[in-house]
């Protein structure tokens, strides 16, 4: 299964028994909006997983705004959602794939590779005349056993040790204005991790909100690809470990599966007062 699937692909397979469709809609400004939207209308057969209740651990002093969930607790929630190690999973949202990509990344972290994100998301599905429903199906629990891929993860100590190391490339996935420290509406400090370059995650999408084709992604990520081809370790981060996931997915699509995610990201980095902060462009 491709990592990005079309509406037509999903429609043709929507009732296949090993396919689990997951609604990941969420709104940081209204944290009940995603589940409310799901209850009102969703793709037939879809189950709902919430960014903060299901796909993150509770917030604490460190770990960022969306800490990495406990792997066994996440595996139990996946099982209750009907996902087993043999399932094919298609996730969707209405925010350009950001939250769906979070589930895609978490599944990969737990050793499950057969997962994808629905191109263009729910609104495009509904406005395109594809089927929607308010009915929820009876979920038969799966049996999901995690096989943690620790090489996909970077923590704050890893980042500290990487500062000034020209064999490591940090990629900041936030909007350029936040990266440069010109504005910051979510976290207590503005700026970026020293040495990081900026690649805004929304630039993986075209003007219609669809994922760009591979040649366009290669052009966009040219300096990152060069670093990877040169054998440099590459670590992607964002504000809280969520919006970096589309960039990680894009690089996986291009064959660079060795990319790491700094799961706590900027909100974890600045929770340590001694960590340095840079502004402007690099």
What pLDDT does 160 receive?
A: 98
Domain ranges in the chain with CATH number 3.40.250.10:
4-127, 150-269
Residue 120 has pLDDT above 90, yes or no: yes
Residue range 162-189: mean pLDDT, rounded:
97
First to last CA, the chain: 37
pLDDT exceeding 90 applies to what percent of the chain? 99
Helix intervals (H) in the chain: 7-13, 33-40, 71-80, 98-109, 121-127, 156-162, 176-179, 214-220, 222-229, 245-253, 265-269
DSSP state of 12: H
Q: At what angle do helices 222-229 and 245-253 cross, to 10 degrees?
A: 60
What pLDDT does 131 receive?
A: 98
CA distances from 141 to 57, 80, 89 (A): 22, 5, 14
Which residue of the set 51, 204, 238, 250 is catalytic? 238
Q: Tell which CATH architecture fits domain 4-127.
A: 3-Layer(aba) Sandwich (3.40)
**3-state DSSP call for residue 67?**
coil
Angle among Cα 125, 248, 153 to the nearest 5 degrees reads 130
**Residues 26, 34: Cα–Cα separation, whole Å:** 4
CB distance 239 to 208 below 8 Å: no
238 counts as catalytic: yes
The answer to whether the Cα torsion of 160, 165, 167, 172 is positive or negative is positive
Listed residue (105, 132, 224, 131) closest to 172, CA to CA: 224
What pLDDT does 79 receive?
A: 98
pLDDT in tens, 214-237: 999 999 999 999 999 999 999 999
pLDDT in tens, 83-94: 999 999 999 999
What pLDDT does 282 receive?
A: 86
**Residues 145, 225: Cα–Cα separation, whole Å:** 33
What kind of fold does domain 150-269 have according to CATH? Oxidized Rhodanese; domain 1 (3.40.250)
Query: How many helices (H) and strands (E) in the chain?
Result: 11, 10
pLDDT in tens, 239-281: 999 999 999 999 999 999 999 999 999 999 999 999 999 999 8
Residue range 154-178: mean pLDDT, rounded:
98
DSSP state of 47: E
């Amino acid at each position: 299964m491709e990592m990005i699937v079309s509406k037509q692909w999903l429609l043709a397979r929507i009732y296949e028994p090993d396919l689990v469709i997951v609604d990941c809609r969420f709104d940081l400004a209204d944290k009940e909006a995603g589940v409310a939207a799901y209850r009102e209308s969703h793709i037939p057969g879809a189950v709902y997983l919430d960014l903060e209740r299901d796909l993150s651990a509770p917030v604490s002093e460190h770990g960022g705004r969306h800490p990495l969930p406990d792997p066994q607790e996440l595996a139990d929630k996946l099982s209750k959602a009907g996902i087993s190690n043999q399932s094919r999973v298609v996730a969707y949202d209405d925010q350009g794939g950001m939250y769906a990509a979070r589930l895609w990344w978490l599944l990969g972290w737990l050793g499950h590779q057969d997962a994808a994100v629905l191109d263009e998301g729910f609104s495009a599905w509904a406005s395109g005349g594809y089927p929607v429903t308010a009915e929820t199906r009876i979920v038969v629990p799966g049996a999901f056993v995690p096989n943690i891929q620790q090489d996909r993860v970077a923590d704050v100590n890893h980042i500290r040790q990487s500062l000034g190391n020209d064999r490591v490339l940090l990629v900041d996935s936030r909007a350029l204005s936040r990266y440069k420290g010109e504005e910051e509406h979510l976290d207590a400090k503005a700026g970026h991790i020293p040495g990081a370059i900026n690649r805004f995650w929304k630039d993986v999408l075209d003007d219609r909100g669809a994922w760009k084709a591979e040649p366009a992604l290669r052009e966009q990520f040219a300096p990152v690809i060069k670093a990877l081809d040169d054998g440099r370790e590459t670590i992607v981060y964002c504000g809280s470990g969520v919006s970096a996931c589309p960039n990680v997915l894009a690089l996986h699509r291009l064959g660079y599966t060795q990319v790491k995610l700094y799961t706590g990201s900027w909100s974890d980095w600045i929770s340590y007062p001694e960590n340095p902060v840079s502004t402007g462009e690099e």
